[in-house]
């Protein structure tokens, strides 16, 4: 799985291709809550990501808080 990161800071006028990044695993870690992630993985850091099995959402740790990135129907 790869992720494409776009930089819109220039007002959408960039002519360069976005940088490609990837994960080191083909599956996300699955936890029931943010607290369960921290218990299992340790202190959360910017860029940490997991699948919340309670809410059926992908959660990403960003600037000191967990944010929802996407939702899926089970």
Buried b (16+ CB within 10 A) or exposed e, 3-41: eeeeeeeeeeeeeeeeeeeeeeeeeeeebeebebbeeee
Note if the pTM is more than 0.85.
Answer: no
Q: What local confidence, expressed as pLDDT, does residue 32 receive?
A: 96
Q: What local confidence, expressed as pLDDT, does residue 28 receive?
A: 86
Q: What local confidence, expressed as pLDDT, does residue 2 receive?
A: 47
The per-residue pLDDT for range 13-67, each reduced to its tens digit, is 555 665 555 545 568 899 999 999 999 999 999 989 999 999 988 999 998 999 9
Per-domain residue ranges for the chain? 2-71
Q: What local confidence, expressed as pLDDT, does residue 10 receive?
A: 55
């Amino acid at each position: 799985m790869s992720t494409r990161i776009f930089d819109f800071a220039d007002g959408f006028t960039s002519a360069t291709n976005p940088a490609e990044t990837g994960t080191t695993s083909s599956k996300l870690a699955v936890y029931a809550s943010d607290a369960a992630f921290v218990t299992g993985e340790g202190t959360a850091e910017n860029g940490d990501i997991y699948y919340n099995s309670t809410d059926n959402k992908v959660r990403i740790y960003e600037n000191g808080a967990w944010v929802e990135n996407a939702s899926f129907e089970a």
